[in-house]
Structure 1
Amino acid sequence: MSDATPLTRRTLVHLGGAAAAGTGALLLTACTPGGASGSGASPTAGASTTVSLKSIPVGGAVSASIGSAPVVVAQPSAGKVVAFSAVCTHAGCTVAPQGTEFDCPCHGSKFDATTGDVINGPAKDPLPELKTTIDGDTVTVTA
């Protein structure tokens, strides 16, 4: 492989198999909490953040964070808001809002934006729900 050739995940897997058979093992950071695709951090109990209700589309969701922990906030119907940890329960990558669901870019898990339930694995557990309160146009999300 020349210096100009990008190192792909497929190449890493092949190299990892050779390394495991020879002298060591390979760590793929995209498959671990805190890897390149997300912080993997869970919100600290009692910590909170605020989001403008107007910024959350009805029938959609937005990304936010509580400290360094990623969260997603959805508005399934006008005036009803729910929030979840955005840390995928499969491998700790950060999920992203995609219409009425949250999608994990690492392994394809999909979660319902209304309930946090798994729509499509490999994740087996739902996203942890967070407490939300609305005061005028301000949504407060608390871990």
Structure 2
Amino acid sequence: MNPEPAVIARRQALVCAGVAVGTGALVACTRGQEQPARPVREDGVLADTAEVPVGSALIVDGIVVTQPRAGEFAGFSAVCLHAGCAVSKVDGAEVICPCHHSTFGLDGAVISGPARAPLAPAAITVRGDSVVAG
């Protein structure tokens, strides 16, 4: 008997399984980036202050704008440092990465992983009733 065909078949099965898992992971990471964030307005404004819900956030052109308390705003990069996917969903006080379902608080801190690093700060400024980048 020649055991070689069984070894090759097993190796081929393992390689195919590895390719399938890798492809699935890439598709999952890409899916989050395909959901476009709201663009910056023509006048350069990310959002009106009234558009950012108190106790929640708004994702605008790669920036997560939060308003944890009335009149208090903060900005964070929309890039999840776990795998480089863009956070794309806000559920109350949680910002969610669609790739591996990491959640972040309104201060950018990780609530649940697999992400271990917080969202990076992004400079924003409130000018009157507008939030602008920088």
Compute the TM-score of the two structures, normalised by the length of structure 2.
Answer: 0.71
Provide the identity percentage: 38
Higher helix share: 2
Unpaired segments of 5 or more residues in structure 2?
1-11, 35-43
Distance 1:140 1:108 in 2: 28
- Which whole-Å deviations, capped at 9, do the CAs of 1:45-103 have from their partners, x for residues lacking one? xxx752111100111111100xxxx2211111111101111111111222122111111
- Secondary structure, counterpart of 2:68 in structure 1: strand
Query: Structure 1 runs of 4+ off > 6 angstroms?
Result: none
Q: Does 1:18 align with 2:10?
A: no
Aligned residue among 47, 50, 53 for 1:57:
53
Closer/same/farther in 2, CA of residues 30 and 85 from structure 1, 3 Å limit: farther
Distance 2:124 2:32 in 1: 26
Higher strand share: 1
- Secondary structure, counterpart of 1:36 in structure 2: helix
Q: Which amino acid aligns with 1:85?
A: S
- Which whole-Å deviations, capped at 9, do the CAs of 1:5-55 have from their partners, x for residues lacking one? xxxxxxxxxxxx836259x834332354xx12216xxxxxxxx75211110
Closer/same/farther in 2, CA of residues 72 and 20 from structure 1, 3 Å limit: same
Aligned residue among 93, 96, 99 for 2:92:
99
* Alignment-derived partner of residue 73 in structure 1: 65
